[in-house]
Amino acid sequence: MILAAWNVNSLNVRLPRLLGWLEANRPDVVCLQETKLEDARFPVSELDAAGYSAQFSGQKTYNGVAILVRSGLPVTDVSMGIPGYDDVQKRVIAATVAGIRTVCVYVPNGQSVGSDKYAYKLDWYAALAQMLRAEILHHPSLAVGGDFNVAPEDRDVHDPAAWAGQVLCSEPERAAFRTLLDVGLKDSFRLFDQPENTFSWWDYRQLAFPKNRGLRIDHILLSEALAARCTASRIDRNARKGEKPSDHAPVLVELRDS
């Protein structure tokens, strides 16, 4: 079983690239962020033709999340948003896929430390932690994938000194990220030895990608039961190359059969 998470930065623009990537990698479940599409415009038939069913919750211009599932795998209990947390921004969708509770998240960016959007981000994190505490009680096999907009540690940052205290790296954000781990989740990437300077996002500007000036802000978190089944976790840097890439690369995990 292969599970992936990818911020595509507009599914409309990225659909050809996504279809090629699905064909090459054949993941079983894909959590997408920043689809930037109203539900009526979601490319259901194109994905069906590629062998994937889709669950989605989108809006015009901003945000938007989806869970793609390889055709034939059972999908149940689809839910949108964070229970009890009113939010017009479409940032969460969840579904149970072949016994794995999958939560796809697009965490607010936070703009800059001290801004209204930063406060929203921290508030949003608290609501997500509360949601995940309830989810893990009902679903011991829980995976949370997406764009968390936090680089958890300095080794997830190309230039920790330059980013110190900045949005995506500030201590309150890192503490908020750790509250998700405290629910009983592991950062799958750190279950294994990894090459240094592995990132999942690079600014489009200043040749950041060829210079590998990036951050690791996209993650797949796994409950203990799933971490025990996890045989690999990696970031597909190749997906950031070439014409019209997303500024994010996908994260993948492999799970052995239970």
Partner DNA sequence: ATGGCAATGTTTCATTGA
Is residue 204 involved in binding DNA (CB under 7 A)? Answer: yes
Q: Which amino acid is at 176?
A: A
Q: Which residues pair with 92 in a beta bridge?
A: 105
3-state secondary structure of 221: strand
- Choose, by CB under 7 A, the member of 27, 57, 93, 147 that binds DNA: 147
Nearest approach in angstroms of CB 206 to DNA is 4
- CA 58 to chain CA centroid, Å, is 15
Is residue 197 involved in binding DNA (CB under 7 A)? Answer: no
Q: Which residues pair with 248 in a beta bridge?
A: 201
Is residue 156 involved in binding DNA (CB under 7 A)? Answer: no
> Interaction with DNA in 210-249: which residues (CB under 7 A)?
215, 217, 244, 247
Task: Report how far residue 23's alpha carbon sits from residue 30's, in angstroms, rounded to the nearest whole number.
Answer: 13
The answer to whether 167 touches 113, Cβ cutoff 8 Å, is yes
Task: Report how far residue 231's alpha carbon sits from residue 253's, in angstroms, rounded to the nearest whole number.
Answer: 8
Q: Which residue, 97 or 151, has its beta carbon nearer to DNA?
A: 151
Q: Which residue, 10 or 51, has its beta carbon nearer to DNA?
A: 10
Q: Which DSSP state fits 230?
A: E
- Choose, by CB under 7 A, the member of 61, 84, 86, 210 that binds DNA: 61
| 106 catalytic per annotation | yes
- Choose, by CB under 7 A, the member of 1, 36, 67, 223 that binds DNA: 36
Is residue 173 involved in binding DNA (CB under 7 A)? Answer: no
Nearest approach in angstroms of CB 151 to DNA is 8
Nearest approach in angstroms of CB 90 to DNA is 12
Is residue 192 involved in binding DNA (CB under 7 A)? Answer: no
Which residue in 28, 52, 106, 156 is the catalytic one? 106
Q: How far is CA 48 from CA 41, 54, 92, 192, in A?
A: 14, 8, 22, 34
Task: Report how far residue 25's alpha carbon sits from residue 20's, in angstroms, rounded to the nearest whole number.
Answer: 9
> Interaction with DNA in 74-93: which residues (CB under 7 A)?
none
Which residue in 28, 118, 125, 147 is the catalytic one? 147
Map residues 98-117 to x or -, x wherever contact with DNA holds by CB under 7 A. Answer: ----------xx-xx----x
Q: Which DSSP state fits 250?
A: P
3-state secondary structure of 140: coil
Q: What residues are labeled active site? A: 106, 147
